[in-house]
Chains A and B, each alone.
Chain A
Amino acid sequence: MHAAGGRVAAISGGVLVGCTVCLATLAQAQTWQSTWDASVYASLSTRRVQADSVLNPDNLLARLPDSVGVLETRFDWRLESERLGMHLRPILRQQWQHGGGGEGGLDEGYLSQWRLRGVLTESLSASLGRDVMNWGPAQFRSPSSPFYFDNGRSDPTRELSGVDALKLAFTPDANRAWNLAFVRGTGHDDRDDWKNTWLLKGEQRGSDWTVGWVAAKSAGRAAFWGGYGQWTLGDDWLLYGEAASSRLHQALRSPVSLAQPFRVEAESARQSVWLAGANHTLESGQALSLEYLFNGHGYHEAEANAYFTRADQSLPNAGLALSARPALLGRHYLHAVWQSNLLEEGDVWRLMWSHNLQDGSQEWAAYFDHPLNTHLNLYALGVFNRGGAASEFADLSARSLQIGLRLVMP
């Protein structure tokens, strides 16, 4: 394992040096253009914590605040020429919170994304940096992405940080693309899941269809295999799907028999996750989407019941259940979205509904964005959870509301 790690480091170092030399060569005699813009988000959020939560009794474990104020500035700076490009996206965040035992504030600054990119040939480019490597047509979750299963679509205001990667992209024409990447780590989020991962991704397009495939492998972990596809059917229908086969790292098992405790598996059995969806666009440009997700890594109904029952037995059990919970608890989900025309420049709204078909819990969310002038927008995100304690979508939070202003500059 050490020898393999050393080989990886050597190869990575060699590629890095090679890219640096190429980029330095490309940098000569370039015409540069510099652009910048910034968005400032100022928001207030309030949450109603579930009073009889099983996973978070009396809010002792998650310590969710009742209200949060956030001031977040997101900069984008680009320096580009025909063959080279640099991009920085620093984030400055100040947060104040009240209630839930978490009084106080938080100041942080970090690089959400950064990139140094060079065009090596007409079809080949290389980049080094922190990139959001997110793909696939699905809205609820992205099974085909090893890094962004929760793809951030449920909260349009949330900043999705990149993963640290060295990438080669080969695009011979507009219909084909291949990417080879070495992912060093998960960037600002700093999770251990996919450190030192090699990723190969391809995408092919036809006149009205697109398919992609993904393979990811890190030392000591089983490979991740993923794929996605979409088909434009007529003017107003999109059919799409995503799928993956993988083993989970540090998976929490919940045996049906309550005589047995929770068990954390270093690596779970290989399971598949797949999603099928359809999107219909109305004459007005509004779009309706309906998705079904099968989550092979989730619990059967009996396992899910045992999960909550075991968590209810003691505070340490609840703590383990909360901290090591799977990304999705169950196996069968429905997700629906009704949204405004994404291409229109006025009000933007989005209604989302998620439903765990096993425990019956639901999450209803509504997002609204209204331009006050050319630079300032008012937005709101309301989330309502139904199902009560010991259900996936409602055990922690009954409802929340976020209202904010977004200012763009210049």
Chain B
Amino acid sequence: MRNLLIFISCLGAFPVWAVDAQGVLERADQARGGHLPGVVWVIHLVSREGDKRLEPQTLEVRAVDDASVAETLEPARFRGAKILQVGRNMWITKAGLSKPIPVSPRQRMTGQASNGDIAATHYAADYTARMDGEERLNGEPCHVLELTARHKRTTYDRVRYWVSKEREVALKAEFYSLSGKLLKTALFEYGHEIHFEGRRIPFVSRMLIRDALLDAETDMHYEAVKVRKVPASVFDLGQMQ
């Protein structure tokens, strides 16, 4: 009996690193568009810098693996402008540009959202995950993952990621530079649901990004989410114009 009690208490103290951190990350990715055959969604972005409210934007994003195309729907004068990203290659087309122009990853959209934030998330492929304890976020128990970039192609060098233990979706992220400086934080909501491989998966409906140093934030609302194969021709520059 005594041995049984010792055995049961050891189970209770079983270290959290036994939970597959990389598996948790991969399932959390799906709720943000990763590891799907393709995903299409519309994002409404509203950005604020101090008291200044920037012009709202609406984008349609089509993404698969590490490729995405974001097309501006609003404001009207930039309608049709597109950002193509394949790996770390990025191009932009818009009125006034006679051909797609390559841009570097440092060029970011208005506000706090980077191209990596609006596209599908593949943290499981881009980062090595390590469990770093548990916390409750808004009353919801979460795994806290420490993500370290596997290669230089990632948007961020290090991410601290809160993933709900029950729903397996990311609720909060802190993004860090290589030097350990906190760059920004993000909060997520999952008001959508998708069906994939017989499963019902909660899907991101909102991402609120706040700059860690400045009084600035971008509020992104996701709509019209569809899981569907995105043809490769979408990423052909010759067919973008």
Q: Which residues of A contact B (CB under 8 A)?
A: 37, 39, 76, 119, 122-123, 125, 131-137, 139, 142, 148, 151-153, 156-158, 160, 169, 171-175, 177, 179, 201, 203, 205-210, 230, 232, 234-238, 240, 279-283, 285, 287, 341-346, 348, 369, 371, 374-377, 406, 408-410
Contacts and interface: CB of A to CB of B under 8 A. Distances in A.
Contact of B77 (A172, A173, A374): A374
A396 B153 CA distance: 48
Interface in B41-89: 54-55, 57, 64-67, 75-80, 83, 86-89
Contact of B102 (A157, A238, A345, A375): A238
Contact of A345 (B57, B65, B88, B96): B57
A343 B110 contact: yes
A171 B235 contact: yes
Contacts of A279: 102, 104
Nearest to A232: B88
A205 B86 contact: yes
A172 B108 CA distance: 29
Given A148-B98, A232-B88, A281 B239 contact: no
B239 A169 contact: yes
B191 interface: no
Nearest to A376: B77
B103 interface: yes
Nearest to B234: A174
Contacts of B241: 131-132, 134
A139 B97 CA distance: 10
Residue of A125, A232, A344 contacting most chain B CB atoms (<10 Å): A232
Contacts of A206: 87
B95 interface: yes
B152 interface: yes
Contacts, number: 169
Contacts of B86: 174-175, 205
B105 interface: yes
Nearest to A344: B110
B239 A342 contact: no
B106 interface: yes
B97 to A, nearest CB: 7
A59 to B, nearest CB: 29
A259 B107 CA distance: 56
A369 B95 CA distance: 12
A209 B151 CA distance: 15
Given A125-B233, A177-B237, A238-B104, 20 more contacts: A37-B76, A137-B102, A157-B96, A158-B98, A172-B232, A175-B86, A203-B236, A205-B86, A205-B89, A210-B89, A230-B89, A280-B104, A285-B107, A285-B108, A341-B108, A342-B92, A343-B109, A345-B75, A345-B110, A408-B79
Residue of B67, B94, B236 contacting most chain A CB atoms (<10 Å): B236
By secondary structure, the B interface counts as: loop
Nearest to B153: A207
B238 interface: yes
B99 interface: yes
16 contacts: A134-B241, A148-B98, A171-B233, A177-B238, A179-B238, A230-B102, A232-B90, A232-B102, A232-B104, A234-B152, A235-B104, A236-B106, A341-B107, A342-B94, A343-B92, A374-B75
Counting chain B residues whose Cβ lies within 8 A of the other chain, the interface size class is: 35 or more
A177 B236 contact: yes
Contact of B235 (A174, A207, A236, A406): A174
B137 interface: no
Contact of A371 (B77, B97, B109): B77
A343 B83 contact: yes
Given A179-B238, A283-B106, A142 B76 contact: no
B231 interface: yes
A237 to B, nearest CB: 6
A174 B103 contact: no
Interface of B: 54-55, 57, 64-67, 75-80, 83, 86-90, 92, 94-110, 151-153, 231-233, 235-239, 241
B42 to A, nearest CB: 14
Given A160-B98, A174-B86, A345-B55, A232 B105 contact: yes
A385 B17 CA distance: 68
Contacts of A148: 98-99
A344 B45 CA distance: 13
B96 A369 contact: yes
A153 B99 CA distance: 8
A142 B104 contact: no
A300 to B, nearest CB: 30
Nearest to A367: B96
Nearest to A117: B239
Contacts of A151: 98-99
Given A173-B232, A208-B153, A345-B57, A136 B99 contact: yes
B87 A208 contact: yes
Contacts of A409: 76
Nearest to A377: B77
Given A342-B92, A371-B77, A235 B110 contact: no
A133 B232 CA distance: 19
Contacts of A344: 109-110
A171 to B, nearest CB: 4
Contacts of B110: 343-346
Residue of B95, B105, B152 contacting most chain A CB atoms (<10 Å): B95
